[in-house]
Structure 1
Amino acid sequence: MGHKVIYVAGLGLIGGSIALGIKRDHPDYTILGYNRSEKSRQIALERGIVDEVTDDFAHFAPRADVIILAVPIKQTIAFIEELAHLSLKENVLITDAGSTKLEIVKAAEASFANQAVRFVGSHPMAGSHKSGASAADVNLFENAYYILTPTALTTDDTIEELRADLSGLHARFITIDAAEHDRVTSQISHFPHVIAASLMEQAGDYAKEHEMTNHFAAGGFRDMTRIAESEAGMWTSILLTNKEAVLERIEDFKERLDTIADKIKAQDDDGIWQYFNHAKTIRQEMEIHKRGGVDSFYDIFVNVPDEEDVILTILELLRGTSLVNLRINEENRDDIHGILQISFKNAKDQARAQKVIEANTPYKVTIQ
């Protein structure tokens, strides 16, 4: 199929970045966009993210060959139900970008039953602390997992066609059952947000009587609780549309806390050592350090002294290289060195950075 009309509902970070990726490989496609915010619609037009915009969701739907719902989960389901009552093109391909899949898939299968509609669930596993159309990035999904969950409405050629339409995202497409997707993400995404929020709740209460808690919190505590700053409304929706899996993970975690508590009470030196060493081994065997999920980038770690202009010197060496993130890892210790962590989007930039820093400075560079 040559020219297509793609309708992206939701022109924020995810929807806008998807539209840019489609345009990169398919400049002949017409990209239509929906967003409630006039500001986002204007930015999307000015940046060339879309060709036309509307604040009326139903307005562009009949023109579309492909409809991408890049809106919150509850709104995605509401739009699916609305689309079922509109006059759409025969065999229109509809997909979404929600973080949970089973409820969306069930809604689509029920709403489009006996209609000439193809539907496949999607979950692009990439993100940023930025939001809105102004944050849209054509490289946001580069090497990130883009999960596709087939449905009863997914024909033999649907997955292949959708991957071709999204080829400009340069993502890693993975096909998985919707229920299994929700089970897996409950462990590696949804439950960790519960833990991070709980740690912050606990620390906040503890700091009322132990005020230095707020001052000493750094290092591991900071890394474990970073995601507690995520948008509350989004995570409320995610947990409530994957409640069984998340509740099961919570119960499992309670048992694991009881296990280590019993070892501490019993002063079981070997048992405690085994507990931590086993966790270390599991982490080293996981693909955490490979580009894949949300906020998973190519990192280098530079041992730097606490001296003026050290970071500026390193950044000057990396001029022209696109950085994802930069931070100092400290552990509240009296030490002459800190760890400068620099994140890149691809292995090529990571390797170049390691080489140039080691060639021009005395600092040790490691890749984990």
Structure 2
Amino acid sequence: MTKTIYIVGLGLIGSSLALGIRRDHPEYRIVGYNRGEQSRMIALEHGIVDEATDNLSQFAAEADMIFLCVPIQQTIRFLEELSNLPLKEGVLVTDAGSTKEAIVEAAETYLSARNIHFIGGHPMAGSHKTGAIAADVNLFENAYYILTPSRLTQADAIPRLKEVLSGLHARFVEIDAAEHDRVTSQISHFPHILASSLMNQAGDYRKDHPFTQHFAAGGFRDMTRIAESEPGMWTSILMTNRASIVERLAEFGERLKDIQQLIEAGDEEAIWQFFDQGRRIRKEMEIHKRAGVDSFYDLFINIPDQEDTILTILELLRGISVVNIRINEDNRADIHGILQITFKNKEDLERAERIIRDQTSYQVFVD
């Protein structure tokens, strides 16, 4: 019998989930909810969903599986609303929120009286693009898809969910909801606070030191890129993971005091060890990988400051899919720039490297 999949929230994540589900299960009926009309229309026009609504209850009773792909606080409100709707027996409900403990607790509170399966979910992938127009069937490829079981997760629920999501080509990992929130507080939530703190500090500092505005590049740019993230989403994340985030902030404050004392004491050896340890740990971590495998491939090219250099290189690479390009060290006029080109797979990287080496005299290296 054909399954009905209900995607609640047709933004980047929800629409990309729908495309991934449809890839392996074209026979499924996929319906969607979205408050805004534009994403509903785009999702319908692009075949992301078969039907769409702005009324949560419209398709709820027909769904075999419900994906809540909306902000955290709205997810919690929708869990309460679903508890009062006539859902199918054994329907599986899951979500895509960036924090898990509060959502799992809400599901157990509101849905425990019903024959409903619930699994917390967090697909660890995203983009700077938003809305259904940005939907990408490959968004989750080789990315970790975290599953946090609850008291409402019956034995067959996780296999059922994985089977429906097989077209995502993601890597599923099961973890306790509280542990998920502790880990993400360190590697996701706290870094966003740090990035915005650096920007706020620089904003104040530039009032008396205006060249701060113009010289910020390189490392500062890389460290603060995520400060451009949507404020509402991050406010919600902080409000639903307060204890872990406050703990990380306090611990980091002690680390800053330690390095401050080393600098004040002029302890050159200890400062060197501080930087060396950070460098070594970064090399050991899977920062350049998604789900433990290489997920993007970077080619670096030393280029002179000459007209049309970048256009010439891109023309040579015509026909090869490029994920991103950027120029590093572009705040110096007396040195070559470094053109960084990112590819989606190893084959494209190797082909591009051969072309640039064979047809130019530029120095090329691979990370």
**Common fold, TM-score beyond 0.5?**
yes
Partner of 1:366: 365
Aligned residues: 366
> What CA distance in whole angstroms lies between the structure 2 residues aligned with 1:138 and 1:366?
31
Return the offset for 1:150. Answer: 1.0
Is residue 267 from structure 1 mapped to residue 266 from structure 2 by the alignment? yes
**Partner letter of residue 33 of structure 1?**
G
Q: Is the 8 A contact 1:142 1:345 kept in 2?
A: no
Alignment-derived partner of residue 347 in structure 1: 346
Q: Which residue of 2 aligns with 1:159?
A: 158
Residues of 2 paired with 1:160 and 1:352: CA distance? 39
Tell me by how many angstroms 1:184 deviates. 0.6
- 1:7-28 Cα offsets, whole Å, 9 max, x none, are 0000011111110111111111
**What displacement does 1:334 show?**
4.1
The answer on whether the counterparts of 1:290 and 1:298 sit within 8 Å (CA) in structure 2 is no
Aligned-partner Cα distance in 2 for 1:171–1:298 = 18
How far is the alpha carbon of 1:330 from its aligned partner? Answer: 1.1
Q: Equivalent residue of 2:251, what SS? A: helix
Report the counterpart of residue 257 of structure 2 in structure 1.
258
Contact 1:145 1:171 in 2 (8 A): yes
SS of 1:341's equivalent in the other structure is: strand
Q: What is the match of residue 113 of structure 2?
A: 114
User: SS of 2:162's equivalent?
Assistant: helix
Task: Kindly state the Cα deviation for residue 355 of structure 1 after the two structures are TM-superposed.
Answer: 3.1
Deviation at 1:122, TM superposition (A): 0.7
- Per-residue CA shift, 1:20-74, capped at 9, x if unaligned? 1111111111000000111111111000000000010111010000100000000
Give, as a single letter, the amino acid of the residue that structure 2 aligns with 1:191.
F
SS of corresponding position for 1:63:
coil
Residue 321 of structure 1: CA displacement? 2.6
- Alignment-derived partner of residue 233 in structure 1: 232
Q: In 2, distance between residues paired with 1:354 and 1:175?
A: 38
Q: How does 1:1-368 map to 2 (within 5 A)?
A: 3-292=2-291, 297-330=296-329, 332-368=331-367
Unaligned runs of 5+ in 1: none
Relative to structure 1, the CA distance from residue 122 to residue 155 in structure 2 (aligned partners, 3 Å threshold; closer, same or farther) is same
C-alpha displacement of 1:148 = 1.0
Contact 2:4–2:28 (8 Å) recurs in 1 = yes
Q: Which runs of 5+ in 2 are unaligned?
A: none
Aligned-residue offset at 1:256:
0.5
Take 1:298 and 1:47, find their aligned partners in 2: how far apart are those partners? 30
TM-score, length-scaled by structure 2: 0.96
Cα deviations across residues 271-314 of structure 1 (Å, max 9, x unaligned)? 10000011000001111112349x96332222222222222222
Equivalent residues of 2:295, 2:345 under 8 A apart: no
CA distance in 2, matches of 1:349, 1:62: 46
The one-letter amino acid paired with 1:196 is A
Asked if the contact 2:120/2:150 (under 8 Å) is kept, the reply is yes
Q: CA deviation at 1:144?
A: 1.4
Question: What displacement does 1:344 show?
Answer: 2.4
**TM superposition score normalised by structure 1:** 0.96
Q: Distance in 1 between matches of 2:258 and 2:330?
A: 28
Letter of the 1:46 counterpart: E
Q: Which amino acid aligns with 1:140?
A: L
Moved more, 282-291 or 97-106: 282-291
Amino acid at match of 1:115: R
CA distance in 2, matches of 1:102, 1:365: 46
Change (3 A) 1:116 1:347: farther
Change (3 A) 1:353 1:159: farther
Deviation at 1:173, TM superposition (A): 1.5
| Native 8 Å contact 1:323 1:345 kept in 2 | yes
- Counterpart secondary structure, 2:289: coil
Kindly state the Cα deviation for residue 338 of structure 1 after the two structures are TM-superposed: 1.3
Q: Percent identity?
A: 66
Q: Give the alignment's Cα RMSD to 1 decimal.
A: 1.6
Relative to structure 1, is the Cα distance of residues 348 and 148 closer, same or farther in structure 2, using a 3 angstrom cutoff?
farther
